[in-house]
Structure 1
Amino acid sequence: MENNKPFTVERLFQLPLFKEAKIMAGESGISKEIYYIDSMETPTLTGFLRPNELILTTGYSNLVLNRRTTELVVLIGHLLGCEAAVINEAGEVESSTTQFGGVDYVEKRPVQVGSRIMGYLAISRKLGEQEHFEEMCLDHAVTVLAIEFTIRQSQQMQREREQESFLVELFSGSSHQEDLLRYRAQQLGIPLGKFVYCMVLQNRSAVDKQSRDEPLTRLNNLLVQRVNKPGVYTRKAVVISDSLIILCATVHDTAEKQRAEAEQLLRELMAPAEEISPSTQLTIGIGGIRELLSDVPMSRQEAHKAMEISLHTQPKQKIVHFHEVLVEDLLLGAAGHPVLTALTSMLIEPIVAYDKEYGTELLATLHAFLRLGGNTKRVAEELFIHRNSVLYRLDRVNEIIQNDLNDPEVRFRLDVAMRVWKTKDIHANQMK
């Protein structure tokens, strides 16, 4: 008759395998009869259970989906009798058993999502060939950790898309409510500081658009990853129309500090040079400092202007602040004015015509002379010619324009005329 007794939960705990088991909850159901026994590792058992069914499960999936990776690692350490840890793809320990830091792990299993290894599950002892249960536990833990990394990757991608949408909206100036902008920026992890400003980064080595589109896309994607790398909370980048636009947060309010930050960024971006072509010429345009997020579009416009103007006036300069091209921006606003037209006609066009007819470089020499404050020694060094050659060319300029370059008034007018001439192509493009 004993064998005909119902098989209840209470009788289950009398079996040798379950003698050490403990009831954690639901003790009032200990007399319930068991009709079926099954093993399952699904995140939720709803829809799979039958009445009077006993389910055997490790609970790994629920630990992961409830973001309890630490408990999972502790469970693995307990089951295998060793120290264990989850290591991310950067080699950093994310969670571990208490003594893991004091031991060397002897085995690590890759946690793979598709073809990409997202991290590792490391343990401090080698499993033997006969330890089938331990091997099964380890394999299963790796599988459910892959779920965790997949969830995390999906969440990260969604957050990046939301950040990108916010930045595009911010730079376009479509929203002007400061409180709402700051609230959304805080929620999305967008850089905020006492001051904000924009950088525009471009690759000047790319000339032919049709042939450079694919390489430029790859370069921009690489640069975005480096600018937005984990652990950096003072800048965030997005690609708009082949330009990398970077929102920067800072506690400084000077152009010198902005330039220093841009120089540091260039060094960081170009440091792992094996991934970037040697012909790459990264340049940065910097916009002015702003206190309000709603004023960021103005800083972005200034950064673009600095980049565009410097392309015609200072093509060799890698970093240009908008404050350095304020005069050119002012002259662009007055482009076509009769006085400016007269200045270029009298002082610049005759030199251009002479260069074209005789193959000389008087205009380039004059430009360097004006930009370097009349220092003929520095002009010679920049142009890689003898100082006497510089003096000879300047004498020819004096003869052509019939003015004295040593006269401060003449030099001022030449400087204005030269700036107008250098930016004429920008004005022409704006008129199209």
Structure 2
Amino acid sequence: MKFKGLTVEDLLKLPILKNAKLVSGEQGLHRIVRYIDIMEVPDVKGWLREGELILTTGYSIRHDPELLLNLVEQLAQTGAAALGIKPERFMNGIPQAAIDLSNKHHLPIIQIPNGVPYIDITYTVMEQILDKQAALLRRSEEVYKTLTNLVLSNSGIQVVADNVAKLVKCPIWVLGNTGELLVSSPATASYEPSMISRQWDVTVDNQFVGRLVVGKQELDELEFVCIEQARLVFALEFMRRKTAYDTEQRLRGTLFEELLMGLPLTNQEVENKGKQLGLQPEWLWEVCLIEGEAAVPGDTAPLFAQVIELVNRQSAKRKVRAHFQQQANRLLLLLASAPDAPVKKQAHDMEALKDWSDMLRPFFEQDGKIRCGFGGKQPLLEVNRSYKEAKKAIALGSRLDKNRQMFTFEEVEMFHLLLEASDYVNFHPLIDKKIGRLSLYDKENGSDLVTTLYYYLATGGSLIETANRMYVHRNSVKYRIDRIKEIANLDLDNPLNRFVYYLCTAFYLLNKTE
């Protein structure tokens, strides 16, 4: 059954109008009649409504045919349904100019027999309109109950989408707030923006959460009602999902808080809680700790939105889950990896093979306001270890290189062990012996020769890379290296010597800034 409302064509089939005559505007017979009113004043501008049927004897415009043209124009602009005229008493027929204008705008003009009372027309038409609206309302309630019950019974968004597609008799798609496809019906229907489709926003608490796309342009009234009910039901589904997601995030956050604090949990406890929250026991976890002078995310919010979007997308590809947690001015990314994931060799899958640190490095190295550290991969029970390593990575890495924003524990692990060993072994005599003259020269002259030597050795003897890290010219680095050799009498051609000098300069810089 098609719910088109009462059309002008239906109107002319009513017994009360069996002798009425369609004068013009035949192409507008599909217009829907929603209201009916009587006009006996010439000025109707401002109170005409879309879908309105206007009845008139032409009394108020009998002396000025131009007023009839104005009336037709205003009715067309308003989207009125039709104009019904009784011309016998006060008008000598309907002017040809009005007929031509009516045909131009596809606005029907109906000549009503003089003997038919207005009250009979208005009563009959309103009865038909109300009957149509009552039927539409009953069907709307049925649709709403059906779709709502699907949500309340947790049938799934796919079942809801299938029912909506059946009601509107065309494919539909539901997109997320970032444009990602959440569900389609048929399930195999891929989404491509099209000129023949129509779309409606889905909102929850006045916030845009998604978009409903319907694969056709023309819809009847029942289909429009279905769309409105579907938007409401999908909003309920989004709200249900959000509530479930927020609850899961809160519980997951509690578990990670316990793990990061190092509470005494057994492996079985952690495994059971993790499984309940969708965290598989075989996943390995690494902590990315992000901190800065301002509270995270602060004025770098767009950057973090991009990072979180990338992490979520890549986690979905890798069939793992990530977790984000804020601690005062720190942001923690808890990133999972599946160790038994099959290696994919296709070029378009190379991004999925990258380590998390390599994938996120371009984001963090572009922002000088933050620093971040990556811990090593650990089982869920030992995620606290990765958290400590991430903190060490920032603490040690930033002392060695103030111009970098991102550090991994793997890069500083040797220096971490060196500092720990210094609690039991006195390295200071060796440091003084190897680079004591350089450090003394720096103190007396305000120079950076020790730092220059460290960068030079850390970059494998590259003058260009050292110059980039020191923000000086290459020739300046070459001059400094020559001065270093001269002041400290260093032999940098011997690999063993270079290694010893590298450790000594690193240890010196780490202790200097403690």
> TM-score category by the smaller chain?
0.5 to 0.7
Q: Taking structure 1 as reference, are residues 308 and 234 closer, same or farther at Cα in structure 2, changes over 3 Å only?
A: farther
Q: Taking structure 1 as reference, are residues 394 and 83 closer, same or farther at Cα in structure 2, changes over 3 Å only?
A: same
Partners of 1:84 and 1:124 within 8 A in 2: yes
User: What is aligned with 2:358?
Assistant: 263
Deviation at 1:382, TM superposition (A): 6.2
Q: Taking structure 1 as reference, are residues 63 and 196 closer, same or farther at Cα in structure 2, changes over 3 Å only?
A: closer
Q: Taking structure 1 as reference, are residues 326 and 258 closer, same or farther at Cα in structure 2, changes over 3 Å only?
A: farther
1:362 to 444, 449, 463: 449
Cα distance per residue 1:185-213 (max 9 Å; x no partner): 222123653x624232436xx4x447x77
The structure having more radius of gyration, on CA atoms, is 2
Partners of 1:191 and 1:247 within 8 A in 2: no
Cα distance per residue 1:202-242 (max 9 Å; x no partner): 36xx4x447x7733677556644542347253452333531
User: What is aligned with 1:310?
Assistant: 397
3-state SS of 1:367 partner: helix
User: What is aligned with 1:236?
Assistant: 322
Cα distance per residue 1:245-274 (max 9 Å; x no partner): 423324289xxx99844212335x57xxxx
User: What is aligned with 1:137?
Assistant: 226
Cα distance per residue 1:166-191 (max 9 Å; x no partner): 22222222143112212222221236
Equivalent-residue separation in structure 2 for 1:124 and 1:380 (angstroms) = 60
Letter in 2 for 1:189: G
User: What is aligned with 2:203?
Assistant: 112
Partners of 1:192 and 1:234 within 8 A in 2: no
Q: Taking structure 1 as reference, are residues 252 and 342 closer, same or farther at Cα in structure 2, changes over 3 Å only?
A: farther
User: What is aligned with 2:339?
Assistant: 251
Cα distance per residue 1:287-338 (max 9 Å; x no partner): 3344x43222223222321222111113445654434323321232244667
Partners of 1:201 and 1:244 within 8 A in 2: yes
User: What is aligned with 2:298?
Assistant: 214
Deviation at 1:83, TM superposition (A): 1.0
Equivalent-residue separation in structure 2 for 1:168 and 1:394 (angstroms) = 49
Deviation at 1:348, TM superposition (A): 4.1
Deviation at 1:165, TM superposition (A): 2.0
Equivalent-residue separation in structure 2 for 1:71 and 1:259 (angstroms) = 37
Q: Taking structure 1 as reference, are residues 252 and 352 closer, same or farther at Cα in structure 2, changes over 3 Å only?
A: farther
Letter in 1 for 2:237: E
Deviation at 1:86, TM superposition (A): 4.1
1:15-30 aligned at under 5 Å gives the runs none
Give the TM-score taking structure 1 as reference length.
0.66
User: What is aligned with 2:483?
Assistant: 393
3-state SS of 2:474 partner: coil
Cα distance per residue 1:138-182 (max 9 Å; x no partner): 322322222222112211222222222222222222143112212
Letter in 1 for 2:485: D
Partners of 1:163 and 1:190 within 8 A in 2: no
- Aligned identity (percent) is 20
User: What is aligned with 1:196?
Assistant: 284
1:268-347 aligned at under 5 Å gives the runs 269=363, 279-280=367-368, 284-290=372-378, 292-317=379-404, 320-335=407-422, 339-347=426-434
User: What is aligned with 1:18?
Assistant: none
Point out where structure 2 has 5 or more consecutive residues left out of the alignment: 1-136, 342-351
User: What is aligned with 1:423?
Assistant: 510
User: What is aligned with 1:3?
Assistant: none
Partners of 1:85 and 1:93 within 8 A in 2: no
Partners of 1:199 and 1:284 within 8 A in 2: no
Letter in 2 for 1:113: V
Equivalent-residue separation in structure 1 for 2:357 and 2:242 (angstroms) = 30
Deviation at 1:347, TM superposition (A): 4.3
Q: Taking structure 1 as reference, are residues 137 and 331 closer, same or farther at Cα in structure 2, changes over 3 Å only?
A: closer
Equivalent-residue separation in structure 1 for 2:474 and 2:372 (angstroms) = 30
3-state SS of 2:316 partner: coil
Q: Taking structure 1 as reference, are residues 235 and 71 closer, same or farther at Cα in structure 2, changes over 3 Å only?
A: closer
2:247 to 143, 147, 158: 158
Deviation at 1:61, TM superposition (A): 1.8
Point out where structure 1 has 5 or more consecutive residues left out of the alignment: 1-37, 43-54, 271-276
Q: Taking structure 1 as reference, are residues 239 and 258 closer, same or farther at Cα in structure 2, changes over 3 Å only?
A: farther
Q: Taking structure 1 as reference, are residues 380 and 390 closer, same or farther at Cα in structure 2, changes over 3 Å only?
A: farther
Aligned-pair Cα RMSD in Å: 4.2
Deviation at 1:374, TM superposition (A): 5.5
Equivalent-residue separation in structure 1 for 2:361 and 2:230 (angstroms) = 42
Letter in 1 for 2:428: T
2:265 to 176, 181, 203: 176
Q: Taking structure 1 as reference, are residues 132 and 306 closer, same or farther at Cα in structure 2, changes over 3 Å only?
A: closer
Q: Taking structure 1 as reference, are residues 91 and 425 closer, same or farther at Cα in structure 2, changes over 3 Å only?
A: same
Equivalent-residue separation in structure 2 for 1:187 and 1:39 (angstroms) = 43
Equivalent-residue separation in structure 1 for 2:182 and 2:465 (angstroms) = 55
Deviation at 1:134, TM superposition (A): 3.7
3-state SS of 2:427 partner: helix
3-state SS of 1:215 partner: helix
Letter in 1 for 2:231: V
Partners of 2:361 and 2:406 within 8 A in 1: no
Equivalent-residue separation in structure 1 for 2:338 and 2:370 (angstroms) = 22
Letter in 1 for 2:324: V
Partners of 1:191 and 1:249 within 8 A in 2: no
Partners of 2:175 and 2:181 within 8 A in 1: yes
3-state SS of 1:122 partner: strand
Q: Taking structure 1 as reference, are residues 214 and 260 closer, same or farther at Cα in structure 2, changes over 3 Å only?
A: closer
3-state SS of 1:309 partner: helix
User: What is aligned with 1:10?
Assistant: none
Partners of 1:74 and 1:97 within 8 A in 2: yes
1:34-53 aligned at under 5 Å gives the runs none
